[in-house]
Structure formats: C-alpha cells, structure tokens
Amino acid sequence: MPTATIDLRGLLIGLGLALVVDLLTVAVCGVVGVLHLEVVGIDWGVWPPLALIGFVGVFIQASSEEMFFRG
C-alpha cells in the first residue's frame, strides 16, 4: 500500500515564492499608484456577527453533507 509523503522542501519553496511574488506585486502596485492601502485598525464589532454566520454556515454545510453522503 502506498504511503503519503509531503515534500516539505518543495512546499517551503512554493510558499516562499508566493510570498515574494505577493510582496513584489503589492510594492509595484503601490509605487505605480494602482493600490491605495490604509491601515485603519480592527473593528471588533464586526467579528461576532461574522463568527455567527461562519458557525451557522459550517453547521449547515457539514450536516447537509452528512445527510447527502450517509443518508
């Protein structure tokens, strides 16, 4: 029976390249003037409704998947 292995070196190289490409894209877009980023802080009033919606969504998705596949 085959065993599943994770190529950790390849994974880290891919993550590093993605990080470099993302940072370069943001830097170039910021210099060109296409991207305007502004740090405004965290609005804690948004998180409770978001957590509730996420919990309900996960609950509905998981239960419907169980009903569909297990009957």
Domain ranges across the chain: 8-70
Residue 1 clears pLDDT 70, i.e. is over it: no
Residue 71 clears pLDDT 90, i.e. is over it: no
Say which residues have a Cβ less than 8 Å from residue 30's Cβ, sequence separation at least 6: 37
Q: What is the pLDDT of residue 25?
A: 94
Rounded CA separation 15/18 (Å): 5
Apex CA 19: angle with CA 15 and CA 23, to 5°? 175
Q: What is the pLDDT of residues 5-17, one digit of tens each?
A: 888 999 999 999 9
Q: What is the pLDDT of residues 32-65, one digit of tens each?
A: 988 887 878 888 899 999 999 999 999 898 888 8
CB distance 29 to 35 below 8 Å: yes
Q: What is the pLDDT of residue 40?
A: 83
